[in-house]
């Protein structure tokens, strides 16, 4: 705990020194509080298809972009790092979509808000997002995979002491999309489930009288197609961007391009805080109520090659090279095997049979070793290679002998079985 507090104090001092020099502040009035909601895996066309009443009401009463663009790779953690730091993936370098140790090494919107004395709340339904949780002691951080329980905590904390900046992550409909497919009936039901949780929050804001002083942003990290979200296609890359509240124009369809780094820039601008001028994101001023909407321009196309094409080609090439290399090694190893004395081949056969593994066809005619021979233990992953059996045989005593050959050394070559060349690629494909 002491380490986290020390890190937070150093980070606050750095923020105060640097941001005073390079940041710009929007001249518009600031909202009293901002709520940023990320609905994991939400496609823009699913809102209407699911009949998500709360989201449709926010769209009608605010500004909406139906084709905002996420980052590549289109995965949860990389896009949330961008969403909360303003840095594109090429800069922050987080490509993994798994639980990572420690804390993101970049300044987040929570750091900026806390340095300005604002109270922050961080609520997420996937443990991997703990990588982005605020470190300052005054922030409230809660991770819960149960969306209803998570929203219960949000409402409880908000009622007791309202946050200036609140981040809420809802895991659905992403989890259902992976199980049942995007745009399936189950997926649309999951959209309505998350929509109902957002409705609970909007109801509380209304009851507390905060609706006129709170700006709400709703967006996503990625869409999906089939059962995954790995391709560079509109169904995967395009995400909804909804802005509702006193700072935003009502019933406005946005046509200027909106990208993921624009979200943190907009959040800080709404709070009257500075945002680094050298970052690629910009506040979505087209959505602001007091700014006239410019003429619409043609939106950028996101059609392109799949994000996994190049890793796939690389893995295929490595597979071919590995296959030829393994074949050549097997040929050399088998030749050496055939030159071994018969008693060692018989010992190897005995070892495999003692572990319940039948020997290869070419070994089955060998005579078994003498009853006094000690069978050395070889890891199961090494038992299929004659080379490793040869090493173990050299270390074991000869039949009828009384100990090792005294060398105590292993083969000069590597005795590690090569992992399957595609195992890491399959894991990356599932995580992407």
- pLDDT score recorded for residue 276: 78
The angle, 0 to 180 degrees and rounded to 10, between the axes of the packed helices 185-208 and 147-160 is 10
Tell me the CA distances in angstroms from 417 to 229, 326, 382, one per residue in order.
Answer: 33, 11, 7
Rounded to whole angstroms, the Cα distance separating 235 from 241 reads 15
- pLDDT score recorded for residue 84: 97
| Beta strands 238-244; 63-69: pairing state | antiparallel
Write the DSSP assignment of 84-140 as a string of letters.
HH---HHHH-----S--SS--SS--HHHHHHHTT--EEEEESSGGGGGG---STT-E
Instruction: Name the DSSP letter for residue 296.
Output: P
Q: How confident is the prediction along the chain (432 residues), in pLDDT tens digits per residue?
A: 455 555 555 555 454 444 443 344 444 545 789 999 999 999 999 999 999 999 999 999 999 999 999 999 999 999 999 999 999 999 999 999 999 999 999 999 999 999 999 999 999 999 999 999 999 898 999 999 999 999 999 999 999 999 999 999 999 999 999 999 999 999 999 999 999 999 999 999 999 999 999 999 999 999 999 999 999 999 999 999 999 999 999 999 999 999 999 999 999 999 999 887 778 899 999 999 989 888 776 545 555 555 554 455 545 555 544 454 444 444 544 554 455 555 555 655 666 566 555 544 444 444 444 344 443 444 444 444 444 444 444 444 544 444 444 444 333 443 433 333 334 434 444 444
**Does domain 2-287 fall into CATH 3.40.640.10?**
no
Check if the beta carbon of residue 268 is closer than 8 Å to that of residue 34: no
Rounded to whole angstroms, the Cα distance separating 426 from 147 reads 29
- pLDDT score recorded for residue 350: 66
- pLDDT score recorded for residue 30: 55
- pLDDT score recorded for residue 295: 78
Ranges for all domains in the chain classified under CATH 3.40.720.10: 2-287
Report the residue count for the chain: 432
In DSSP terms, which residues pair with 242 in a beta bridge? Answer: 64, 218
Number of H helices, E strands in the chain: 15, 10
- pLDDT score recorded for residue 17: 44
Rounded to whole angstroms, the Cα distance separating 172 from 41 reads 7
């Amino acid at each position: 705990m002491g380490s986290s507090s020390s890190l937070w104090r150093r980070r606050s001092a750095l923020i105060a020194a640097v941001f005073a020099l390079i940041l710009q502040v929007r001249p518009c009035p600031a909202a009293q509080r901002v709520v940023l909601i990320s609905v994991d895996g939400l496609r823009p066309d699913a809102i209407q298809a699911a009949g998500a009443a709360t989201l449709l009401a926010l769209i009608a009463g605010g500004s909406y972009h139906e084709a905002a663009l996420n980052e590549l790779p289109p995965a949860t953690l990389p896009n949330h790092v961008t969403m909360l730091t303003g840095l594109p993936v090429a800069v922050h370098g987080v490509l993994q979509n798994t639980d990572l140790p420690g804390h993101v090494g970049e300044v987040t919107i929570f750091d900026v808000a806390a340095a300005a004395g604002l109270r922050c709340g961080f609520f997420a339904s996937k443990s991997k997002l703990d990588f982005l949780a605020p470190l300052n002691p005054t922030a409230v951080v809660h991770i819960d995979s149960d969306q209803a329980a998570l929203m219960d905590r949000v409402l409880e904390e908000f009622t007791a002491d309202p946050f200036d900046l609140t981040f809420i992550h809802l895991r659905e409909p992403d989890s259902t999309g992976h199980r049942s497919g995007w745009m399936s009936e189950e997926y649309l039901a999951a959209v309505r489930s998350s929509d109902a949780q957002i409705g609970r929050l909007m109801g509380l804001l209304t009851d507390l009288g905060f609706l006129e002083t709170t700006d709400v942003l709703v967006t996503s990290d990625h869409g999906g197609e089939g059962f995954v979200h790995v391709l560079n296609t509109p169904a995967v890359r395009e995400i909804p961007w909804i802005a509702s509240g006193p700072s935003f124009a009502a019933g406005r369809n946005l046509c200027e391009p909106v990208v993921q780094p624009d979200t943190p820039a907009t959040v800080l601008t709404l709070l009257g805080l500075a945002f680094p001028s050298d970052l690629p994101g910009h506040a979505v001023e087209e959505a602001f109520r007091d700014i006239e909407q410019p003429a619409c321009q043609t939106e950028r196309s996101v059609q392109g090659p799949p994000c996994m094409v190049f890793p796939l080609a690389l893995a295929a090439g490595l597979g071919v090279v590995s296959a030829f290399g393994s074949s050549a090694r097997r040929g050399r190893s088998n030749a050496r095997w055939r030159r071994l004395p018969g008693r060692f081949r018989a010992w190897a056969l005995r070892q495999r049979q003692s572990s319940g593994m039948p020997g290869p066809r070419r070994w089955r005619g060998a005579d078994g070793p003498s009853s006094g021979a000690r069978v050395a233990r070889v890891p199961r992953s090494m038992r299929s290679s004659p080379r490793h059996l040869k090493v173990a045989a050299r270390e074991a005593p000869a039949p009828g002998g009384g100990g090792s050959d005294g060398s105590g050394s292993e083969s000069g070559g590597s005795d590690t079985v090569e992992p399957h060349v595609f195992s890491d690629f399959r894991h990356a494909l599932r995580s992407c």
